[in-house]
Amino acid sequence: MQICRIIGDVVSTQKNPEFKGHKLLIVEPVDLDKKTALGTSMIAVDIVNAGKDDLVLVNKEGSSARLLLDNENIPVQAVIVGIIDDIDVPKSS
Amino acid sequence: MQICRIIGDVVSTQKNPEFKGHKLLIVEPVDLDKKTALGTSMIAVDIVNAGKDDLVLVNKEGSSARLLLDNENIPVQAVIVGIIDDIDVPKSS
Amino acid sequence: MQICRIIGDVVSTQKNPEFKGHKLLIVEPVDLDKKTALGTSMIAVDIVNAGKDDLVLVNKEGSSARLLLDNENIPVQAVIVGIIDDIDVPKSS
Amino acid sequence: MQICRIIGDVVSTQKNPEFKGHKLLIVEPVDLDKKTALGTSMIAVDIVNAGKDDLVLVNKEGSSARLLLDNENIPVQAVIVGIIDDIDVPKSS
Amino acid sequence: MQICRIIGDVVSTQKNPEFKGHKLLIVEPVDLDKKTALGTSMIAVDIVNAGKDDLVLVNKEGSSARLLLDNENIPVQAVIVGIIDDIDVPKSS
C-alpha cells in the first residue's frame, strides 16, 4: 500500500458497465513529506469517501479491490482504503 | 489502472487459440497532459470498442482480464476497460 | 520478500473497518549494509511484534497478507513476517 | 503482455521436476522498432513452437502460465503465447 | 523468472512459524554474463538444494511458492526452482 494524494478525476462514458456508480479518481504517490510526487499517477476507486487533495492510503491489487467493492466482476486494480490524518516518522536516536 | 493511448496493433498468426477473435492492440502509458509517453508500451485486448489514437483506461492484471473476457483460459494481462473523454486535474488552492 | 527498516507509522481514523486493531507501519527497503535506503517506503501491517527501527522481512503480496492475518476481507498488501537478527553475506572466494 | 525477442536458453539439470519437457528460453523485451532492448531479460516457457531470434508475445503472470501449460504445479511465471509477424504503428494524423 | 546468484542468508529468530525449517537465502539478480548485478537483492526460499555462489533460477510469485512448498499458509514470495548449469546466448546472424 502506498501514500497518495488525490489530484483529479477521469470522465469516461464508454466503459465496462461494472464501473457505474464508482468515481474514477486520479491519485499520485507522494513522499513522507506529503508533498513530493513519486512516480506515475494511477486511476483508483474510492471506498472511504475521500475528496480532492486528501492524503490517502491506496491498495494497488485487483484481488483486494474486488473483495472491498464486493463485486467479483469489477475490473479495478487500485482502491483508496483510508484517509491519512497524519504521518509519524520520528528521528532515529 | 493507467491512462494509455492506443498507438497500433500486432499481427500474429501462430498464437494461443484462445486469442482468436481478439485484436491485440499496442497501448502506450501517457501523462495527465494526455501526450507525454511514460514508460514502455504493452499489448492489450479491447472490450469497449476503442480505436486507434483513443485515450483509454487500461487494467494490467490477468485475473481481471479473464473475468472481463469471460474466458478462464485466455492468457491476457492488459485489458482496455474504458475510453476516457476527459481528465480533470484542478489546480490545488 | 525484502529487507526493510521500520521508520514510522500512519494515523488514519476514516478507513476500511477491517483495519481496526492493526497498526499501519511505514517501512523503507534497505540495502545489505542495513542502512542505505532503496526505493520508496510502503505501508505494512505487522504480525511479529516488530517495533520502531527494527530490521524486518516484508512480504509484499496481498494474497499472503490475507492468509497471515486470517482475514479474507482485509485490503492489505505488505506484511512484516519476521524480525531480522543478522544478515550474513560472506565474500566470494 | 510484452513484445520480446528470443535470445538464448538456459541449461539446468537440478531443477523442479515439473519443468521436465519444457525448454527454458531467455527472452529480452524490445521496443516497437523490434530491435532496441528494453530492461532486463527473463526466462520464459514456450507454448507456440517459437525459435531463436523470433519476435514473440510474452505473458508475465504465473496464473496465466499454469492455465496455459495445463499444470497447476509448474512454477513458471513467463510464457511465450504468440509469434509476432508484424507490428503496425501508423503515424498519428 | 530471473537468473540470480546466491550471495548470503538472513538470520531471524522472531518470525512467522511457517518459516521453520526453511533457510532464508539472499539472492541477487545477475545479467547474462553471470556476473553483473541487476537491481535489488531479495530473500528467497530454496527447494532444489542450492548453495552459496550458485547461479539459480528464481520464481518471484507467492502463488507459485505456496504450491511448490506444499504449504498454503507460508508467506513466501521468491523461491529458487533450479540451479543453472549454463546460459546459452548465441550471436544473431
Query: What is this structure's pTM?
Result: 0.82
Integer-rounded Cα Rg, in Å, for chain B is 14
Higher pLDDT, B90 or B73: B90
Comparing alpha-carbon positions, the chain C residue that sits nearest to A60 is C77
Q: Give tens-digit pLDDT for A14-53.
A: 988 888 888 899 999 999 999 999 888 999 988 888 999 9
pLDDT at B29: 93
Report helix, strand or coil for C13. Answer: coil
Chain E touched by C67 (CB under 8 Å): yes
ipTM beyond cut 0.90: no
Domains and their CATH numbers in chain D: 2-83 (2.40.50.220)
The answer to whether the beta carbons of residues C5 and C59 sit under 8 Å apart is no
Q: Is the predicted pLDDT of residue E9 greater than 90, yes or no?
A: yes
Q: Is the predicted pLDDT of residue C16 greater than 90, yes or no?
A: no
Alpha-carbon gap, residue A22 to A9, rounded angstroms: 11
Residue from A6, A55, A87, A91 to probe the interface with C (highest C Cβ count within 10 Å): A87
Cell numbers of B34, please?
A: 494526455
| Mean pLDDT (whole number) for B27-47 | 91
Q: Give tens-digit pLDDT for D60-83.
A: 876 667 777 777 777 777 889 899
pLDDT at C39: 80
Q: Give tens-digit pLDDT for A38-92.
A: 888 999 988 888 999 999 999 887 666 777 777 777 777 788 989 999 999 987 6
Element (H, E) at D4: strand D2-11
pLDDT at C92: 65
| Mean pLDDT (whole number) for C31-44 | 90
Do B and E have ≥3 inter-chain CB pairs under 8 A? no
pLDDT at E93: 54
Q: Give tens-digit pLDDT for E26-50.
A: 999 999 999 999 888 999 988 888 9
The answer to whether the beta carbons of residues E75 and E55 sit under 8 Å apart is no
Q: What is the pLDDT of chain C when averaged over all its residues?
A: 87
C52 contact residues in A (CB cutoff 8 A): 90
Cell numbers of E44, please?
A: 528467497
Q: Is the predicted pLDDT of residue C14 greater than 60, yes or no?
A: yes
Chain B touched by A16 (CB under 8 Å): yes
Q: pLDDT means per 10 residues in chain D (93 residues)?
A: 94 87 91 90 90 92 71 79 93 66
pLDDT at B21: 82
Phi and psi angles of residue A66, each rounded to the nearest 5 degrees, phi first: -65, -35
Higher pLDDT, E62 or C54: C54
